[in-house]
Structure 1
Amino acid sequence: MAADREPARDEMPIEADDKGPDRCVHLEKQEAYAADEAEHKLGVPQAFQLYYKAVLWSATLSMALVMESYVLQVMAAFNAQPAFQHTFGVPLPNGKYQLEAKWQVALANASKIGIVLGLFTNGIMIDKFGCKRVMLVALFLFICFNFVVFFADRVEILFAGELLLGLPLGVFNTLASLYATEVCPMALRGIMTAYVNLCWVIGHLIGAGVLQGMDTRNDQWGYRIPFAIQWMWPAPLFLIIFFAPESPWWLVRKDRFEDAKRTLGRLSVPSPLVKNHEMVALMRRTVEFERVTRIGATYPQCFHRKNGSLRRLEICALGYSTHTWGGFILQNYVTYFCACLSFSPSAPRARVMRRGVAD
């Protein structure tokens, strides 16, 4: 019987004697419930239609990951380039040059050390300044630090430049996924975070193409041009992201509720299905719950089993580690080992070729 049906949470009336703060809290609770249910009912096709602006902004920010993948790809491949070896290596008895083993390892891991430092700094900076400003500063620093790499004439300077480049790269690594989850509705978050890994693959493909194009050059521009190409990304991204909306979740955490509502309007299209004031109410209640329960308030709490913090950390770490399982770190050294194999007198291929010529 319809008259006996219990009203839904968002249909509960406000009592007539509810006044002042109690009435506002009750109304906010209703709006939060309505926004939560609407977000769970939203399908992927409809989400793309209503929030295509959020998808575009998230995809633009994720393009910064192309630079990170590209930098890590080209650096290790330079170990086999004659001009790079002559500039940064030491002479051998046969008249050729070779980059010392310690510097091969140092240059290959310099950016990774900087990335780790950037990762930890990123969380603190985003909480204080927001996603947009942190990304703009990281892009600016990348442009500046790339000058050190491009004009380096000693291996020590090149190492310092790669280490400094890793700092903004560490920001790109986590900020892209964070921004995608905070500007996109629930139905699109998995797709847009997967797109982050796609940008990583795109950077590898671009790096492979650039290295193939520079394979015939034996002068210093054979490695300086790939370094110069690293400037191709940050400048246009800086100009575009300058007009990007800030994360509405960060605005709510800073109690800027009207700004958060306006930002949600920039991320969606006008539609009766889009109720930004209800979404702000849901964000407010979620943020307030996090403050009261102190979930994830400190780094040590991430390793506690209470409230499932450790479980979430394990899932996140597993997801981020999957892109390394393909062995791309070892693949970066393929160029070097193939070059050594081709020119080594004891290589099987060389012996076969000599036998063929002799026959």
Structure 2
Amino acid sequence: MNRDHESKPSYTEELEKPGVEYNENEKADASLRAEAIMAENAEHSMTVLEAVKAYPMASFWAFVFSCTIIMESYDVFLIGNFVALPAFKLKFGVPAEGQQYGVIETKWQSALQVSGQLGALIGVFVAGPLTSRIGYRYATLVGLMLLNAFIFIFYFANSLPVIFAAQILEGIPWGIFIANAPAYCSEIVPLRLRAPATQMLQMFWAIGSIIVGAVTYVYNTHLDENAYKIPIALQWLFPTPLAILIWFAPESPWWLTRKGKYEQAAHSVERLGRRSAVNSADQVAMMRRVIEMEESAKKPSYIELFKGTDLRRTLIVCGVYAAQNLTGNLIANQAVYFFQQAHVGENLAFALGLITSALQMIFVMLSWILTTYFGRRSIYLWGSAVNTVLLIALGIAASFGISTTANLAQASLGLIVSVLFTLGPAPASWVIIGETSAIRLRPLTTGIGRATYYIIEIPCIFLASYMLNPTGGNLGGKCGYVWGGTGLLCLITAYFFLPEMKGRSYREIDIMFKRKIPARHWKKTEIDVNDDE
């Protein structure tokens, strides 16, 4: 292994040098660093199982906060399924040749798909300053209460413009959830649990799609308004129970430490871990050490994200978020509609959509095993490479015209692309997003990263809807050529700029960014435990 610096004496060893006197402040500072080093070494030495046993409640609260992602996932897939739902098309569609129940016009299909994202784009910009000021708990509670109110507008909507407006309003709390959940999960768990804790977000995204798939599968044969009203009403199942749980959740000890509330931070650590296995004073000392390294006289601001070494961190987060929309993910979001355009039967299309969602959840859980043994970078790169090849194969299958064999090939490849995306690139993305940002700028970085996601997703949704819609491009599986090309571009970019952060503490990550170590050299670079920069 390469070493950036030779190993240095520890702070306690420096204090014990004969004939050298230190004042009380220097001794306190050295003691704090010694405690920080002990805490960091303890986290490095833990296995995954030991980390789960030491921090059982951290895993539980990460699980609870991840549940907030169900609500965005549910609604995104709900709108995606509504454009294929017979009752919805009868109510809001227009007649089209060869379409028994009519079709949602391309402009409205695209508008409905992007409306929630427009709201979420507003929400993520609200989330950063709001969370920095009042914390993860209270910011999430505000979002949950707003969502409860906005669902009423969606439920009683009787026209596509009102549905469009309702979705924009619902999107605002989604933006808060999606910005806060990965940051909170990453901050409350020890090093060994960061990957599975943040990957749970992708699992709950899959759970949201499973619920939608099951409900719309049941109602796809109903032609009355209950076929779409009941799925809308089911959204009320989530916000209130989650709000009650989150009211009792501990605030992130990292956020409390940033605010100088060290006693509360220690209490939060004790609530997250077992007192017999966790030294809260050492943990807070470790947090203080990292935060002091990042210390600035200025208040965190969006401008700071684009200066110095933070620019590189911001670009990585934004790039990983943007790539989710450029590597076939939109096929998964409109799976049922895609299967219909691949000319499989109505019932089979909804059944395949449900199967896709169920397999996604299983593959996300398999990804936990992968990230335990392999790095984030390697999983992301190999997963993206396989996805790109499959997308090109999808385009080739669609180029053979309409036949039973070609249709089944398209449907199969569409399903495989949607599922394998949740084994590699998608769950690895959440881990990378949670680890890359600086601690003091984390709420702002995750917010701006998710904003990039929506900025890229909105035109991509219009493009995807146009490519699939019979009144638009009517490309069907040939859209695989387009997404395969953008996926290849993302893969090449990630190869040169995405570093490997597996097994790195936040202190080590900070130092490696400050030393401007090239992405491909991170894995073989060693950082001394005594280094402060």
When the two structures are superposed, what TM-score results if normalisation uses the length of structure 1? 0.84
Q: Which residue of 2 aligns with 1:128?
A: 133
Alignment of 1:120-269 (within 5 A): 120-269=125-274
Provide the C-alpha distance between the structure 1 equivalents of 2:138 and 2:169, rounded to a whole number of angstroms: 19
Q: Which residue of 2 aligns with 1:270?
A: 275
1:79 and 1:336 in contact (8 A); partners too: no
Q: Which residue of 2 aligns with 1:280?
A: 284
1:299, distance to aligned residue in structure 2 (A)? 2.7
Q: Which residue of 1 aligns with 2:301?
A: 298
Say if 1:10 and 1:230 are closer, same or farther in 2 by CA, change over 3 A.
Answer: farther
Q: Which residue of 1 aligns with 2:84?
A: 80
Greater mean alpha carbon deviation, residues 162-171 or residues 6-15: 6-15
1:203, distance to aligned residue in structure 2 (A)? 1.4
Provide the C-alpha distance between the structure 2 equivalents of 1:21 and 1:8, rounded to a whole number of angstroms: 17
Aligned AA for 1:220?
E
1:122 and 1:171 in contact (8 A); partners too: yes
Say if 1:254 and 1:176 are closer, same or farther in 2 by CA, change over 3 A.
Answer: same
2:84 and 2:336 in contact (8 A); partners too: no
Count of residue correspondences: 336
Q: Which residue of 2 aligns with 1:357?
A: none
1:30, distance to aligned residue in structure 2 (A)? 1.9
Say if 1:330 and 1:227 are closer, same or farther in 2 by CA, change over 3 A.
Answer: closer
The alignment partner of 1:153 has SS state of coil
Q: Which residue of 2 aligns with 1:354?
A: none
Aligned AA for 1:66?
I
1:12, distance to aligned residue in structure 2 (A)? 5.2
1:23, distance to aligned residue in structure 2 (A)? 2.9
Aligned AA for 2:263?
E
Aligned AA for 1:76?
G
Deviations along 1:157-206, whole A, 9 cap, x unmatched? Answer: 11110011111111121211101111001111112111111111121222
Q: Which residue of 1 aligns with 2:397?
A: none
1:275, distance to aligned residue in structure 2 (A)? 1.1
Say if 1:98 and 1:258 are closer, same or farther in 2 by CA, change over 3 A.
Answer: same
2:86 and 2:220 in contact (8 A); partners too: no
Provide the C-alpha distance between the structure 1 equivalents of 2:340 and 2:82, rounded to a whole number of angstroms: 8
Provide the C-alpha distance between the structure 1 equivalents of 2:74 and 2:311, rounded to a whole number of angstroms: 32
Aligned AA for 1:216?
T
1:29, distance to aligned residue in structure 2 (A)? 2.1
Provide the C-alpha distance between the structure 2 equivalents of 1:191 and 1:56, rounded to a whole number of angstroms: 12
Alignment of 1:6-17 (within 5 A): 8-10=10-12, 13=15
The alignment partner of 1:189 has SS state of helix
Identify unmatched segments of 5+ residues in structure 2.
1-7, 347-401, 405-533
Deviations along 1:264-323, whole A, 9 cap, x unmatched? Answer: 00000022x4211011112122222212387x943344344x32x343234333444565
1:50, distance to aligned residue in structure 2 (A)? 0.1
Greater mean alpha carbon deviation, residues 184-193 or residues 273-282: 273-282
Aligned AA for 2:316?
I
Aligned AA for 2:312?
R
1:7, distance to aligned residue in structure 2 (A)? 6.3
The alignment partner of 2:295 has SS state of helix
2:12 and 2:30 in contact (8 A); partners too: no
Provide the C-alpha distance between the structure 2 equivalents of 1:171 and 1:26, rounded to a whole number of angstroms: 39
Q: Which residue of 2 aligns with 1:356?
A: none
Q: 2:119 aligns with which of 106, 114, 118?
A: 114
Alignment of 1:34-53 (within 5 A): 34-53=38-57
Say if 1:321 and 1:197 are closer, same or farther in 2 by CA, change over 3 A.
Answer: farther
Asked whether 1:99 is paired with 2:104, we answer yes
Aligned AA for 1:166?
G
Give the % identical residues: 32
When the two structures are superposed, what TM-score results if normalisation uses the length of structure 2? 0.58
Q: What is the alpha-carbon root mean square deviation over aligned residues?
A: 2.9
Provide the C-alpha distance between the structure 2 equivalents of 1:37 and 1:12, rounded to a whole number of angstroms: 19
Provide the C-alpha distance between the structure 2 equivalents of 1:136 and 1:201, rounded to a whole number of angstroms: 23
Identify unmatched segments of 5+ residues in structure 1.
1-5, 350-359
Provide the C-alpha distance between the structure 2 equivalents of 1:41 and 1:78, rounded to a whole number of angstroms: 50
Say if 1:29 and 1:80 are closer, same or farther in 2 by CA, change over 3 A.
Answer: closer
Greater mean alpha carbon deviation, residues 21-30 or residues 276-285: 21-30
2:219 and 2:227 in contact (8 A); partners too: yes
Q: 1:60 aligns with which of 51, 60, 64?
A: 64
Q: Which residue of 1 aligns with 2:514?
A: none
Provide the C-alpha distance between the structure 2 equivalents of 1:192 and 1:142, rounded to a whole number of angstroms: 24
